[in-house]
Structure 1
């Protein structure tokens, strides 16, 4: 299995997963031009994408779908509670959809996809764990808090893409963000902070997770270096060493992330 972040952040999100028989996207929040350009860097054609799995209906996760579905025919897997809201956002251009329900296990070609419910200010939001014969990758962004069910899905993943959206101090001191927006982001239906993410990573490191990709970083209230260094230092306080006990990378808004090739669990 190979996995890479094509883009991660409030302007657009998409993750690519490749196996021997399958190519899927998790979310499609990029323009057609952006998506084609990023896929071409990986020597992949857009019509090679077999399916797109949608986490939720917010624009930065689906805004590229309408144009894409007019020209190409990937299957679109979407939670039952998200269909109506997503179709409205897409001006009734949602098509090829296959509806799933909470905790369904989807077998698609040579992969198995599990979904888990996340707390976010959308009609419904889910994370995904994707497995093949060799590997397991989990993606968990756009959530304000975690629970035991989410953690259980993340445990034993080769790679976890985990939200580290904001530094709490930067967010609270940001004069460009009104109070209601700050409260939304900080709420249990908002986004994970660097602090909360560090606590989750500590837990994951003790449950057979060795690679974390910090994801969905705010461009105004965070930075790759801030998130990385904060979390590295917090882990060190708990005798967990980045680069030895766990490895941390950062998914970016402006560029393709590291392409990981996982050969075995």
Structure 2
């Protein structure tokens, strides 16, 4: 009666999220290499033999970098829209390519994966929720604005990966050219810390127990800043900042006896191996 989740990497250098039960799992996005995916899973005590499918949110390279090799090596079906496949320039074997439609659940063993559209500057961008064992996990990254699709699904989640990409002042005063700043904050780019906090404060359900803050910008955000910001509003929800240099621990999301609450238990206390002096 639980699901296991971890971020294997989260940021513009690569995104990959693991969600599974005791017998099967899926990856949402495969933005790091096959070798790095295997190494990080091994450090966490996870195995690729449990992974039964990969779901791709959109075609940007930080979400698809490792998918071709992973799919070929492990004969994994890749759930991806045709437009994403084409615009990503992917050469997947045809028999491994599986389509999906928004709001139509895909069953992978005992896991149910539902895609829904979002605002992002890609061909057919989607986010996902994964449900199993009465637990729902949401993956909400690369979102330009908190639309009704995002809000509807966030309200269902016992745990979630939620983008907190940039601090508004850091972006405004930073070194990025003006056009890039406008792309990030223009409604089809990324969520700011303030936007993410508004989603969390306004729409989190009473049974949410874990929030992993994801896809932080290297140049326009600060892990300590965003951790402290969300900790002030946590109200019992465990807040974890997902690293752009390594994996998080595996978290076990367990429904409690109450229908409206869950418990979050860290399964692994292993510290991600990161470059000296870089904790995120």
Q: Provide TM-score, normalisation by structure 2.
A: 0.85
Q: How far apart are the structure 2 equivalents of 1:146 and 1:80?
A: 25
Q: How far apart are the structure 2 equivalents of 1:58 and 1:47?
A: 26
1:29 aligned counterpart, secondary structure: coil
| Counterpart position of 1:213 | 212
2:99 aligned counterpart, secondary structure: strand
CA offset digits 1:38-87 (Å, max 9, x no partner): 0111233334421101111100000111222332211111134323213x
| Counterpart position of 2:277 | none
| Counterpart position of 2:275 | none
Q: How far apart are the structure 2 equivalents of 1:261 and 1:48?
A: 16
1:19-98 correspondence to structure 2 within 5 Å: 19-86=21-88, 88=89, 90=90, 92-93=91-92, 95=94, 96-98=96-98
* Aligned partners of 1:140 and 1:162 also within 8 Å: yes
| Counterpart position of 1:228 | 227
CA offset digits 1:133-174 (Å, max 9, x no partner): 231100100011012222111113110110000011111111
| Counterpart position of 1:3 | 5
1:203 aligned counterpart, secondary structure: helix
Q: How far apart are the structure 2 equivalents of 1:94 and 1:118?
A: 27
Q: How far apart are the structure 2 equivalents of 1:23 and 1:210?
A: 21
| Counterpart position of 1:196 | 195
* Aligned partners of 1:5 and 1:16 also within 8 Å: yes
Q: How far apart are the structure 1 equivalents of 2:40 and 2:25?
A: 14
1:131-142 correspondence to structure 2 within 5 Å: 131-142=131-142
| Counterpart position of 1:152 | 152
Unpaired segments of 5 or more residues in structure 1?
A: 236-241
Q: How far apart are the structure 1 equivalents of 2:200 and 2:208?
A: 9
Q: How far apart are the structure 2 equivalents of 1:215 and 1:104?
A: 25
2:70 aligned counterpart, secondary structure: helix
1:129 aligned counterpart, secondary structure: strand
Q: How far apart are the structure 2 equivalents of 1:43 and 1:245?
A: 28
192-201 or 147-156, which deviates more: 147-156
> Structure 1 residues 208, 58: closer, same or farther in 2, change over 3 A?
same
**Residue 99, structure 1, aligned to residue 79, structure 2:** no
Moved over 4 A (4+): none
Q: Provide TM-score, normalisation by structure 1.
A: 0.90
Q: How far apart are the structure 1 equivalents of 2:49 and 2:18?
A: 13
* Aligned partners of 1:50 and 1:74 also within 8 Å: yes
Q: How many residues align?
A: 253
1:149 aligned counterpart, secondary structure: helix
